[in-house]
Amino acid sequence: MKKMIRLLALSTVLTCLLGAAATGPKEGEQYFRLKHRVTGVDARQVVEVFWYDCPDSYKFEKPLEAWAARQSPAVKVVRIPAAWTDQPDQLAYARLYYTLDRLGLAEREALPVFHAVRDQHRKLTTEKNVLAWAATQGLDVSRVRAAYRSKQVTDAVKAAPALRERYQVVEEPTVVVGGRFRTSPLQVGNAADTLSVMDHLYRTAAHR
């Protein structure tokens, strides 16, 4: 009798495990394998391609930050500003991102920038507007100006479209895990479910 109970318990556990596996995200639906794997990156690298003027990027920012902080060790998400060579506004926001990144402020100022652009409808696509916004944030305006005009930032902006193409991203926000798998709210349906798919890819990437 005890043996039968143990077998039934084991059967129940296996059924639950199989059920959990069956309900996991499906390749080709919730996530896609990149046609060409990005070489030279860690198997658990997490990249986000975003745009400051994208409402879905804004919705995804806070949950993504919280997820990264919960991991042990915490995950350093690699940010890539979405940029196409024929989209001046995206290139301008890429310059803003790389300016803040050069100053070590990109992560801290991410939500304030989104708030300014999406909620306050401030167009931070010119040096004048960026410096005015920086002043409201209590940033050192002279340092922001110098970084904004720097060769390093200019070179990063020029390279941004090719970097996006390297990760085979055509929409924002998009997350690429391990240089192999990508997912996005457009594919999954919303930010919360995208985060769940991304978490699954992150936890299994090293074994795939």
Q: Tens digits of per-residue pLDDT, 159-198?
A: 999 999 999 999 999 999 999 999 999 999 999 999 999 9
Phi, psi of 20 (to 5 degrees): -65, -40
DSSP codes, 117-169: IIIS-----SHHHHHHHHHHTT--HHHHHHHHH-HHHHHHHHHHHHHHHHTT-
Q: Do 205 and 44 contact (CB within 8 A), yes or no?
A: yes
Q: Do 109 and 145 contact (CB within 8 A), yes or no?
A: no
Q: Tens digits of per-residue pLDDT, 10-53?
A: 444 334 433 434 467 999 999 999 999 999 999 999 999 999 99
CA distance 57 to 172: 7
Q: What angle do CA 73, 105, 140 make, to 5 degrees?
A: 155
Residue 183 burial (C-beta neighbours within 10 Å; 0-12, 13-18, 19+):
buried
Q: Which pTM value belongs to this model? A: 0.86
